[in-house]
Amino acid sequence: EAGRGPAGGSAPAGSAARPSGHSCTNPEISWALPNTSHVSHEDLTSQVGEVLLYYCYCEVKDPEKLCAWQKALCQHLHLTGKVRVASEGINGTVGGSKVATSLYIKAMLSQPLFRNILCQEDFKSSAGGSHCFPDLRVGVFKEIVPMGIDPKIVSYKETGIHLSPQEFHREVKQYLSQASQGQSDTILLDCRNFYESKIGRFQGCLAPDIRKFSYFPSYVDENLELFKDKRVLMYCTGGIRCERGSAYLRSKAVCREVYQLKGGIHKYLEEFPDGFYRGKLFVFDDRYAICSNEDIISVCRYCGVLWDQYKLCSSQHCRQLVLTCPGCCNKGLTACCPVCQEKELKVTSRISGQTLKEECECTRRRPRVPIENVSPRMLDTGK
């Protein structure tokens, strides 16, 4: 069925073949940095700019060398953010002035390692700048997206079939129409974390209640029956989690076929800002979310009023995000749970010092891997 299309016919244009990955026989990493002599310091460091999100799967012979070049490039252009390098490729989200991000894209596209693999369309942009990140972090890792499975065991080369935003939109429309009549054999799967899908998601999706993407493989294992003989439409923020996530799901050989949204929600919203995705898009920087439509689908953790703007839990020991509206904030309700609220009061009465980050009540009470108790009827109606 690999060559079959989403609706069971021939595969749609541009997605008939499953990507097989990229192999570079002997790529040279160029140390060249872009010329900035024609650019003023103000233009290069302007606070008004953008945030770029991208990834590229390819064989990297010397991850350390690529890491060093990336660090030098970002520093040269005054970019902040996070870049993960591995033998399987690169994954980055960086912020800076529009002049700086433009030069960054040009440098990436001219890098011999990525030439003929990366293209302009692979960079997703949103309003922001260097101020969206506290610093620059570039490092070498085993995976460019932390799924916790050895890339040699589950490779990006075995990914699902990519659908363009237009193709994905048509598929979701058909799925919702069939589901409303109780006839769907499709699962629309959000492979992000619960706090991401809480503030924005596709209508009728199945959004796993998981805290980390590294729990996704266990989630699939524990819920295999759910996916048996189903067509799965997967999506995530920019597409990278679907690359490995779809490969893992396919490795279980239970689905009829697995498809994924090329470019993720980012690219879909560029084409369909008022489409089937409602609410905010969570991003992993100091903005927490970006907006494409006016819908608010989440509520304040304390009073239940519609609210979708995250804040960090006010308790110094905690790393959770909390949805608390201005009214509740004014009442001092700024922690993610009662335990953290209590600890916050104790901490503020003590002498300030280094506090150890630990899991709070919210995390301890949450099942690490939820087992879905979803009836076929519930799936069909998209609930």
Cα-only R_g, the chain: 22
Do 184 and 379 contact (CB within 8 A), yes or no?
yes
Parallel, antiparallel, or unpaired for β 49-57 and 89-97? antiparallel
Selection from 181, 196, 172 nearest residue 288 by Cα:
196
At residue 225's C-alpha, the angle toward residues 151 and 257, to 5°, is 60
DSSP state string for 38-54: TS-HHHHH-SSEEEEEE
CA distance 315 to 334: 8
CA distance 288 to 159: 28
CA distance 24 to 60: 8
| Residue 236 designated active-site | yes
CA-based torsion, 218, 223, 225, 230: positive or negative: negative
CA distance 113 to 172: 36
CA distance 335 to 290: 23
Catalytic residue among 74, 132, 191, 236: 236
Q: In what order do the strands lie in the sheet with 80-86?
A: 124-128, 49-57, 89-97, 80-86, 136-140
CA distance 56 to 228: 31
Do 352 and 193 contact (CB within 8 A), yes or no?
no
CA distance 276 to 269: 9
Selection from 55, 77, 247 nearest residue 157 by Cα:
247
Helix residue spans in the chain (DSSP H)? 41-45, 63-76, 98-110, 165-180, 194-197, 216-222, 224-227, 240-251, 264-271, 326-330, 338-349, 361-365, 376-380
- As annotated, the active-site residues are 236
